Amino acid sequence: MPPPLRLNAVAFISPQNHPILIRTFQKGDELKYHYVAHTSLDVIEERISGDSKSTECYLGLLYAMDDVAAYGYITPLKVKIVIALALTDSVVRDAEVISAFKALHMAFYHAVSNPFLKLDAATNSGNDQYPYLLVGGSKWKSFRQRVDEISKALGNVTST
Amino acid sequence: MNSYPPELLSQLAPVMFVAGLDAPTSTSTPPAPPTPQSATHPHTPSSAPPTPSKSQDSFAQLASRLRDALQSQRKPTIWAPERTKTFHIILVDKAIRFPPRKLVPPEDPQFSNAHSPLSPLTPSSPLYPDGLIAPIWIRKHTALVPSVFVLFLRLFEVPPINPRSPLDPPDVEHERERGEEERRRDAELSAEIAQRKKSTNERGIKLTVVLLASRRMLDDPSLDGRLTFIRRQSGLDSRAALFVLSPVSSSELNDFVRSLQDALYEPALEYYTTHSKRVRRKRNRHSQAVSSYNPVHNPLAAPNIPRPLRPEGWTVRYEYKMACFAEFRGEDEVALKHYQDAYATLLIMFGSTAILPPRTKRWAEAKVLADTINVKISKLYLYNNEHALALSHHNSHMRRFADFSRGWGIGEETFEYWSWMARQHRVLAELLEQGSRTTLTFPTHLPVPRPASVGTPLELDAVRALGLNPSHALQHPGHYYYMAARCTEVRRERFLAGESMAQGAPAAPGYANEEKVDHLTIILELYTKSYELFKKYSSPASQGRLTLWIACRIAHTYYESGKFDMAVRFFERIAKTYRREKWGTMLRPLLGTWYACAQKLGDIDMTVKLLIEMIGYGDTDEPGTLQEDLLAVLRSSVPSKPDEPLMVDLKESEPLLDTTMLFWKSEVRVGEDAAFQLSLIAPTNTVISSLPIDSITVRFTEEYAPVIIQHTPASTQDRVRLVQVGRLEHEDEDMEIEADLRLKPGDRLIVSGTMSSEIPRLLKVSSVTIELKEGDWTIEVPQEPCAAREGSSLAPRWLSSLNPVNFLPMGRGDHSSLSIRHRPHELSVSFTHPEPALLDEEYPIMIEITNTDERELDIIVDVLLQPTEIDIAVQHIIFDGQQSSGLIKGIHFGVVAPGVTALKTLYLVSGGAPGDRTIDVSVQSSSTTNDPSRSRSTSPASPAGPLSRDVSETLQTLVIPTLSALEVVYDVGYRRALGKRAELADLLRYEEEGIDDGTGGDSEAVVTARVTCGGPWGLEIESLNLIRQEVGGAKVLECFSEEGDNNMFPGEYLPGDEFCDMFRVSIAPDEDQGLNGGVVPGPGKYEIIWRSRILPGGDRGPLTSTHFALPPLLPPRDELIALLSVPSTAKLHAPIPMELTIRNQHPSRSANIEVQLALDPLDGFVVAGLRSGHIPVLLPGGEEKLVWRLIPIECGYVRVPGIKVMDRRRSGAEQEAEGDLVKVVDVRLDWRRGTEDTRLVAEGAEAEGGASPAEQVGLGTVLVLP
C-alpha cells in the first residue's frame, strides 16, 4: 500500500495562463511553488497541443524536480490545475491524484459560480477572466478554505 | 563522469591487438619479416627483401588503410548498447610483450603459489593488503592483454623477372633459386610466428596471422603449398588463423575487417569465458574456505598492521571480475547480475566501519567503486529500456549512501555530502545525455487512458495503469543537471557556512581542496547544460517557461558570482514573459535581485526604473520602503541625461495608479456633450503618498488636447477628490488643472468633465502618463490607460455626490469608450395612394419626401416589389421610367434642400388575381454639406468605418390591397345545329373553312357574358369589344354588342352595375378536340377599355384595358340523334311540314334506323308521309332527313304526333322486334348546358345533363290558329 499523497501546493491557472490561486502548504517555500506552477504550464501546453481532441482532463505527471512531482489537470474550460506532491519513493496512484483533482475542480467550480463575484463587475464585460482571477483574490475566502480542506482531507488519510 | 576513473565506467568490448601495421616511419626500412633472432627493433636492413618500389607503395598504402579501418571500428565510450561483433582494436608493435602473469617467472618453483602482480596478496601490488579492485586491473584487460592477437606479415615474393623474350625457355636455374629463396624466407616467417604463438599460448590468446601478398601471388600455384608449410611450421591453429590479403580498395578492406572480427569473435568469447571460469573457480574455492580462512586473519592485530582483504572483499573482487568478463563478452544480463552481487556485497562492507573504516584510502576507493558500479547497473538497465529500474537503483544508491554518509559524519550539513550528491546527479545526467545521442528515448509520462470496461482483468501493465512512481519517471538529462546544480548550490552554501564558522580554527579535512573549487563556475556550467537540454527537449510551441526558470537560476548565479551585467541581461529577458503572464509573485523577487544588480553596477537610470516598477508591484512586507529608496536615490544622484526625461514604461507592468475612465453614455450624437469621469486611484498594497508626482497627463485618442493635472499641495486631503475640467474640445490648447497629487493608499482623484466632437469617432483615453520631478530628475511613467493592478477589482462607479461620497455602479461593459455618431437625418416620407388598387391599372403611388433637417440631403430611393404568394398573379412596378418585377434601385431624388419636398410617383401594375401587394421602399439620405469627416477620411489615421459616413436610411413597407375592377360571368347554352351539313364525301368537310358559314357545325353555343363593375368607385368604360381569335373548332357567329350602336359605351358605371353581351358560337370539334374530352377553347376575348373615375384632384386615370378570355366550350355530345323540326304555329287546315333529321354522330358506328309514326286517334293532325319504314344505313357522320306534311284539324296547342326512331343494328338477333330507341329532339326546345363536367362554365352550378329521357316526351306542340 503506497503512502497517501502529500500535497505540497496547489495552483489554479486561468486559461490565459495567469495565476488564479497558488496555495502552498509548506511554510517559506511559496516562491518555489509559483515557479513549479509556472513551469508546469510548458508541459501542460505541450501535452494538450499534441492531442487537441482529447477530452481527458487529467494530464498525469508533468515532471519531477527537486523534491516535488508536479501533476496537471485541465478543466474543459481550460483552467489548469497543478498540484505539487512531495516526491517519495513510492507509486503514486493515478486514481488518487485524479480524485484529488476532481475535488479541486469542484471547489473551483463552486467558488466561481458565486454570483456575488460579479457584483462589482460590469455586466456583459468582455473580460472572460474576470471572475476567475477574482475568485483567488484576497476578498473571497471560501475558495481558499475549500482548497485547504481538500488538502487537509488528503492529509487526514495519514492519521487514520 | 570525469571525476571517476574512465576504466570503471566505459563499456567493455573484446580487445584485439593488431601488429605489423607500423606507421610509415619505416619508409627507408620497409616492413619485412624480421629474423627470428631479431625480435626487437630496428630490423636489420640487410634482411629487407628487394621489393620493387611500386609494390612497396601499394603495401604501405594497404597498411595505412588497414590502420584507419581498424581504428575506426570502435571508440571507447560509456554508452554502447549495440551488440555487433566489434572489437576494441589496439595497434601494437609486433614485438609487444604482455605484462607478466605473476611476479615470479614460470620456471620458479614458487610459481604456482604466487599471485598476480595486482592481487592484494602480492605485497608489491597497489592493492596490498586489502584493496578491492583497481582501475589498473581493467586497464590491464583493455590495454595490455588482448583476447585476440592479429599479426600482419609480408609473404616473401621474388620480384618477377621480365623474360627477355616470351619464346625463351624458362630459366630453370632461376626457378630453382627462387624456390629455395622462398622456402628459406617462409621458414624464417614461420619461426617468427611460432615465437609469437608461444607467448600468446601462454595466456590462451588466439593468434591469427594475415599474410600480405600481391595480387599476382594469389594466383600463384605454389601459394597453397607455401601456406600449408608456414602453418605447420609455426604451429598455428587450423581454423581462422591464417589469412592472405592483397592490396584492395578501402571498401573491400572494411569488408575484410568485418569478416576478420566475425571470425575472431568466437575465440575472443572463449578467451573471456575461460577467465570467467577461472575466477568462478577461485570464488567457489574461496567461499568454501571462508570458515577456515577467516580466523587466521583475525582483525585483532595492531591497527598499524594492515589487515588483509576480508572475504566480503574477495567476493566483491571476484564478482566484479566476472561482471567485467561478461561485459567483455557482451552478455549484459550476466554482467548485470554480477555487478549487482558485487554492489550488494559492497553495501555490506560499507555497513560496517570495522570492515571499511571511513575516510581511509580503501574506503574512498570502495566508494568510487560503488558509484561506478551503480552507473554500470543503471546503464545496463537503460540499455534494456527499463527506465524505472535504472532510476530506482540510482535513487536507492543515493539514498543508501546518504544514510551511510550521516554515519560517517558527512551528513547534509557538510559540503562533502552535497558535492557527492551533485556528482551522482551529474553522472546520471551525463549518462542520459550520452545515451540520448544514440538509442535512448525519454518517455512522456502521459497517463494511461482509463480502461473502458472495469471488468477487464488487469494484466502486465496493471502496475503502470495504477500509477507511477514519480521518482522513477525518467526525464531528460536537463532535469538531472539541474539537480546537480542545485546540489552544488547547497554545497557552496555549506562550504561558506563552514568557512564562516571555522574562522581561525584549523580547517576540516578537505577544506583546502574545497577552497580551490570555484563553485559558481560549476553551478553555472551545470545550469547552462541544463538550460541547453531544456531548450532542446522543449516542444517548438512551448513558451519556454522551464528554460526561463533555469535562466532565472543562471541569472541568480551570475549575481552571486558578481557578474551583474550578465545577470541583468538575463533578467531583462525573463521579466518580459513574467510581466506578460502577470506572474507578479515571481516578478517581485526577480526585480529585487535585478535592482540589487543595478545598484551594484551603479546604473542609476536602471535603479530608478526598477524601483518605480517595483513600487507598481507593491511592497506588502514593508510598505513605503520602496518609495523612500526611490526618493533617496533621486535626491542623492543626478540623471545621466539631465535634458531628457527618463521614460519608465509601465504599460506591460503594474500601473502606479489604478485608472478607470467612465463615460456616462456609451454613445452620443455629433456635437452632443458626453460626461466623463476619470478616476485615478492610489493602490492599497503599496505606498506612493510621498512620490514626487508633479503632473499626470491624460491623453485621448484623436486630436484632443491632453488634460494635465498639475500638483498643487492642498490644505485638506480628502479621500475622494473631484477635479472639474469643464468641456473638452477638439484641438484646444492643453487643459491644465491643478490638484493635490499626493495620494494615500486608496485615495481617489476623479477628473470630471464633458467632451464633444463634431466628427463621428470612438473616444478613449489613449494613455496616462505620470510625471515625477525631484531635483534634476524628470521621470515620465506612461501606463496603460484603464489598468487595474493584479487582484484589485475596479468596479466602474460614477461619483454621484461628493458630500457625502456616493457612487453609482455602472452596469455597462464598454464604459471606458465613447462612440460619437452622426445625428440621424430628419426626413418625412409619405406615400399617397387611394386604396385599393384595381387590377390592370397603373396604380399610382405618390412618394413625397420632405427634408425637415437643417442639412441638404442627397436622397436615393430603392423600391422592391415583394413577390406575391397569390396564384396566377402578375405584377410589376414602374418607377422613373424603369420597369421591373422586383427591385428598382437608385432612383435619385436629387439633393433636397431643407424644407423642400421632392415628389415622385411609383406605378404598380398588378394583374391576374386580386390580393395584397407588398412594396418595400428604402430612402437613403446622405448629407451633402461640406462634411469634415469626408475631407478627413483621406487621412489614413481617421477611422474609415460606418461611423464616419453620414448616411442614414429609412425603410418603409407598403401593403396595397388590389381588387378587380370588372368581373365577367359567362352563361353558356348549347343547341344542335340544324344547318345543312356537308355530305360525307363532300370535300368541304376537309377544308379549314368548313364551318365558315356556320352551317356546318355540329352544335351551337349561345353565351351570355355578364360584366359586373367591382371596386369601390365607379368606372368610365370606353368600349367593349369582342376580339375574335382563330381557334380550331369554334367560331363566333354573331355578337350582340356588334349589332349596331346601342349607346352603351362610353358610359359611367357605378360599383355594382352590370351589363351583358351575348354571342353565338358554332362548334365543330375537330378530331383532336374530340379526343381531348371535347373542350373547345374560347374563340376570342373581350377587351374592355376603361379608366378609373377618380384620382386625387379629380383627374381621370389613364385608359386601362382589361381582357377577359371567352370561356372554353364543352358541347354535349350525341351519338345517334333525331331532330324534329316543326313550325310553332299553323293555320287550321293548312298543311305544315314536319322534318325529322336523323344524324349519326358516332365516330365509328353506322346505324340501322327504323322510323315509326305513332299515330294517335286523338291527334289533332292528319299526317301525310311515311308511317313506318327503314332508312338506309347511316354511316358515321351521315344524316338522313324525313319530311311529313301535317294538316292541323284542331285549334289550340296541338301535340305533334309521336315518332319512334329505333336503331335496330345494335339489338342483335334476340331482340329483333325492338331496338335502341333513338332520342327525338324538338329543335325548338333544344337548350342544353354543357357536359357534366362543364366546370369552366361560369357559375356552372346548374349545369345538368341536357339529354334527360324526359325530353323524349317533351316534344313540343304547335299552336294551331283558326
How confident is the model at residue B1113, as a pLDDT? Answer: 79
How confident is the model at residue B981, as a pLDDT? Answer: 64
Chain A residues near residue B617 by CB distance under 8 angstroms = none
Q: Which of B392, B403, B468 to mutate to test the interface with A (most CBs of A within 10 A)?
A: B468
Per-residue pLDDT at B1064 exceeds 90: no
Contact (CB, 8 A) for B153 and B94: no
Secondary structure class of B617 (helix, strand, coil): helix
Per-residue pLDDT at B643 exceeds 60: yes
Which of B448, B467, B471 comes nearest A89 by C-beta? B471
Contact (CB, 8 A) for B1219 and B1154: yes
Which residue in chain A has the smallest CA separation from B797?
Answer: A120
Q: Which of A91, A117, A128 to mutate to test the interface with B (most CBs of B within 10 A)?
A: A91
Per-residue pLDDT at B1033 exceeds 60: yes
B223 burial (CB, 10 Å; 0-12 / 13-18 / 19+) is: middle
pLDDT, tens digit, for every residue of B672-713? 888 888 888 888 777 777 788 888 888 887 677 788 888 888
B640 touches chain A (CB under 8 A): no
Q: How far is B610 from chain A (nearest CA, A)?
A: 20
Q: How far is A152 from chain B (nearest CA, A)?
A: 22
Which residue in chain B has the smallest CA separation from A32?
Answer: B586
Confidence of residue A82 (pLDDT cuts 50, 70, 90): very high
> Using the beta-carbon criterion (under 8 Å), do A121 and B795 form an inter-chain contact?
yes
Per-residue pLDDT at A126 exceeds 60: no
Buried b (16+ CB within 10 A) or exposed e, A79-99: bbbbbbbbbbeebbbbebbbe
Contact (CB, 8 A) for B767 and B953: no
The lowest-confidence range among B22-36, B628-642, B972-986, B1069-1083 is B22-36
Q: Which residues pair with B696 in a beta bridge?
A: B709, B770
B620 touches chain A (CB under 8 A): no
Which residue in chain A has the smallest CA separation from B483?
Answer: A66
Distance of CA B193 to the CA centre of its chain: 73
Per-residue pLDDT at B205 exceeds 70: yes
Contact (CB, 8 A) for B1063 and B1118: no
Chain A residues near residue B544 by CB distance under 8 angstroms = 42
Per-residue pLDDT at B610 exceeds 70: yes
Per-residue pLDDT at B339 exceeds 90: yes
Confidence of residue B791 (pLDDT cuts 50, 70, 90): low
B540 touches chain A (CB under 8 A): no
A129-to-A112, A118, A124, B37, B810 alpha-carbon distances in Å: 11, 11, 12, 94, 19
The conformational region for residue B624 under phi > 0 = left, psi -120 to 50 = alpha, else beta, is: left
A86 touches chain B (CB under 8 A): no
B447-to-B464, B474, B573 alpha-carbon distances in Å: 9, 14, 34
Instruction: Please compute the mean of the pLDDT values over residues B86-111 and round it to a whole number.
Output: 81
How confident is the model at residue B326, as a pLDDT? Answer: 92
Secondary structure class of B618 (helix, strand, coil): coil
Listed as own residue / partner, the contacts of B49-53 with beta carbons closer than 8 Å and 24 or more positions apart are: B49/B154, B49/B156, B49/B157, B49/B185, B50/B159, B51/B157, B51/B159, B52/B159
Pairing of strands B874-879, A92-93: unpaired
Which residue in chain A has the smallest CA separation from B685?
Answer: A138
How confident is the model at residue B295, as a pLDDT? Answer: 40
B470 touches chain A (CB under 8 A): yes
Highest average pLDDT, of B333-347, B976-990, B1029-1043, comes from B333-347
B1223: which residues sit within 8 A by CB, 6+ positions away? B1118, B1121, B1122, B1205, B1251, B1253, B1255, B1256
How confident is the model at residue B42, as a pLDDT? Answer: 38
> Using the beta-carbon criterion (under 8 Å), do B471 and A45 form an inter-chain contact?
no
What one-character DSSP code corresponds to residue B1178? B
Instruction: Give one DSSP letter per residue of B644-689, joined into a string.
Output: SPEE---SSS--SSEEEEEES-SEEETT--EEEEEEEE--SSS--T
Instruction: Please compute the mean of the pLDDT values over residues B3-30 and round it to a whole number.
Output: 74
> Using the beta-carbon criterion (under 8 Å), do A85 and B470 form an inter-chain contact?
yes
Q: Where are the domains of chain A?
A: 7-154
Instruction: Please compute the mean of the pLDDT values over residues B309-334 and round it to a whole number.
Output: 89
* Its pTM surpasses 0.80: no
Instruction: Select the more confidently predicted residue: A108 or B976.
Output: A108
How confident is the model at residue B1083, as a pLDDT? Answer: 81
Which residue in chain B has the smallest CA separation from A34?
Answer: B586
B380 burial (CB, 10 Å; 0-12 / 13-18 / 19+) is: buried
Chain A residues near residue B585 by CB distance under 8 angstroms = 19, 22, 30-31, 34
Instruction: Please compute the mean of the pLDDT values over residues B411-424 and round it to a whole number.
Output: 88
Chain B, 355 to 414: residues with Cβ < 8 Å from chain A are 392, 395-396, 399
Instruction: Give one DSSP letter per residue of B1051-1108, joined into a string.
Output: EEE-TT-EEEEEEEEEE---HHHHHTTS-B--SEEEEEEEEES--TTSPPPPEEEEEE
pLDDT, tens digit, for every residue of B359-373? 888 888 888 999 999
pLDDT, tens digit, for every residue of B444-453? 777 766 544 4
Per-residue pLDDT at B272 exceeds 60: yes
> Using the beta-carbon criterion (under 8 Å), do B546 and A69 form an inter-chain contact?
no
Pairing of strands B467-468, A92-93: antiparallel
Best CATH choice for the domain A7-154 from the list 3.30.70.980, 3.40.50.720, 3.30.450.70, 3.90.1150.10: 3.30.450.70
> Using the beta-carbon criterion (under 8 Å), do B467 and A85 form an inter-chain contact?
no
pLDDT, tens digit, for every residue of B919-947? 898 988 887 765 444 444 333 344 444 44
> Using the beta-carbon criterion (under 8 Å), do A59 and B447 form an inter-chain contact?
yes
Instruction: Please compute the mean of the pLDDT values over residues B732-758 and round it to a whole number.
Output: 81
Which residue in chain A has the smallest CA separation from B552?
Answer: A35
What is the percent of chain B with per-residue pLDDT over 70, rounded to a whole number?
Answer: 82
What is the percent of chain B with per-residue pLDDT over 90, rounded to a whole number?
Answer: 7
How confident is the model at residue B134, as a pLDDT? Answer: 83
For B107-222, where are the alpha helices, taking DSSP H only?
Answer: 135-139, 172-202, 215-218
Q: Which residues pair with B675 in a beta bridge?
A: B754
pLDDT, tens digit, for every residue of A36-69? 898 898 888 888 876 656 677 888 888 888 788 9
> What average pLDDT does the structure give for chain B?
78
Instruction: Please compute the mean of the pLDDT values over residues B588-609 and round it to a whole number.
Output: 86
Chain B residues near residue A62 by CB distance under 8 angstroms = 445
In total, the C-beta contacts within 8 angstroms joining chain A to chain B are 138
Chain A, 39 to 58: residues with Cβ < 8 Å from chain B are 39, 41-43, 45-47, 49, 56, 58
Q: List strands edge to edge, sheet with B1261-1265.
A: B1129-1131, B1261-1265, B1196-1199
Per-residue pLDDT at B1260 exceeds 80: no
What is the rounded CA–CA span in Å between residue A8 and residue A85?
A: 5
> Using the beta-carbon criterion (under 8 Å), do B479 and A63 form an inter-chain contact?
yes
Q: How far is B546 from chain A (nearest CA, A)?
A: 5
- Amino acid letter, residue B103: L
What is the rounded CA–CA span in Å between residue B529 and residue B522?
A: 11
The conformational region for residue B696 under phi > 0 = left, psi -120 to 50 = alpha, else beta, is: beta
Instruction: Give one DSSP letter per residue of B729-740, joined into a string.
Output: -BT-PPEEEEE-
The lowest-confidence range among B305-314, B423-432, B564-573 is B305-314
Which of B465, B545, B812 comes nearest A38 by C-beta? B545
pLDDT, tens digit, for every residue of B747-779? 888 888 888 777 777 888 888 888 888 888 888
How confident is the model at residue B397, as a pLDDT? Answer: 92
What is the rounded CA–CA span in Å between residue B67 and residue B1156?
A: 145
Pairing of strands B1003-1013, B966-976: antiparallel
> What average pLDDT does the structure give for chain A?
79
- Using alpha carbons, select from B82, B1, B94 the residue that is nearest to residue B42: B94
Which of B444, B542, B589 comes nearest A31 by C-beta? B589
Is 0.85 exceeded by the ipTM?
yes
Pairing of strands B693-700, B707-711: antiparallel
Pairing of strands B1153-1158, B1202-1207: antiparallel
pLDDT, tens digit, for every residue of B552-566? 989 999 998 888 989
How confident is the model at residue B988, as a pLDDT? Answer: 60
A129 touches chain B (CB under 8 A): no
What is the rounded CA–CA span in Å between residue B353 and residue B360?
A: 11
How confident is the model at residue B338, as a pLDDT? Answer: 93
pLDDT, tens digit, for every residue of B1076-1092? 566 777 788 888 888 87
Chain A residues near residue B466 by CB distance under 8 angstroms = 91, 93-95
B538 touches chain A (CB under 8 A): yes
Q: In 10 A of CB B1085, how many CB atoms?
A: 15
How confident is the model at residue A121, as a pLDDT? Answer: 56
> Using the beta-carbon criterion (under 8 Å), do A58 and B447 form an inter-chain contact?
yes
Contact (CB, 8 A) for A57 and A81: no
Confidence of residue B324 (pLDDT cuts 50, 70, 90): very high
Confidence of residue B45 (pLDDT cuts 50, 70, 90): very low
Instruction: Select the more confidently predicted residue: B830 or B690.
Output: B830
How confident is the model at residue A123, as a pLDDT? Answer: 47
